[in-house]
Amino acid sequence: MDRISSLITLTFSNARPDLATLPEINAALARYGARLWPIDLAAADGTGVDEILQLLSGGKIRVLLQIKHEGLVTFSLAADNSTGWIVTYDGGHPHIGSLTGGTPGTKLLAQVIGPAEWIVRYQENANQ
């Protein structure tokens, strides 16, 4: 395995799991006493936003993106001393990011680009 492939994994699946039942959700509940839900971000008219993640250091973060009628896209990232990552994806699809496996010193910058006003919609079941 080369150095780059050891830092990123990307998987596609036609499975449609309920994102709200993922192990990361239960870990967040146990650790912080709050339930996290998959979200999508869009304007009131349904126009989605683009999300940009910049992983500057550390890692073992995982993002799951549920695309209706298509399936589940999962990516996991880590950075080393010479490689960081910039990832962009459609925030209008139900998704959840997990830092529960993050290494100490992980630095992650997240940005949203899109309509001037947008809302966060919590998805109890992304397949509905």
* Residue 53 contacts residue 86 (beta carbons within 8 Å): yes
Cα separation, 84 vs 43, whole angstroms: 30
Dump pLDDT digits (tens) for 55-64: 899 888 888 7
* Residue 18 contacts residue 127 (beta carbons within 8 Å): yes
Cα separation, 94 vs 13, whole angstroms: 15
pLDDT band at residue 23, thresholds of 50, 70 and 90?
low
Label residue 126 exposed, middle or buried (CB < 10 Å: 0-12, 13-18, 19+).
buried
pLDDT score of 128: 42
Q: What contacts 6, CB < 8 A, 6 or more positions away?
A: 78
Q: What is the mean pLDDT of the chain?
A: 76
Dump pLDDT digits (tens) for 76-104: 888 888 888 898 888 887 877 777 678 88
Mean of pLDDT values over 9-20: 67
Question: At 55, which helix (H) or strand (E)?
Answer: strand 50-57
Mean of pLDDT values over 38-64: 85
* Residue 48 contacts residue 42 (beta carbons within 8 Å): yes
pLDDT band at residue 127, thresholds of 50, 70 and 90?
very low
Domain spans in the chain, listed from the N-terminal domain onward: 8-119
In the sheet that holds 8-13, the strands lie side by side as 8-13, 71-78, 59-67, 95-98, 39-42, 119-122
- Tell me, yes or no, if the pTM score tops 0.85: no
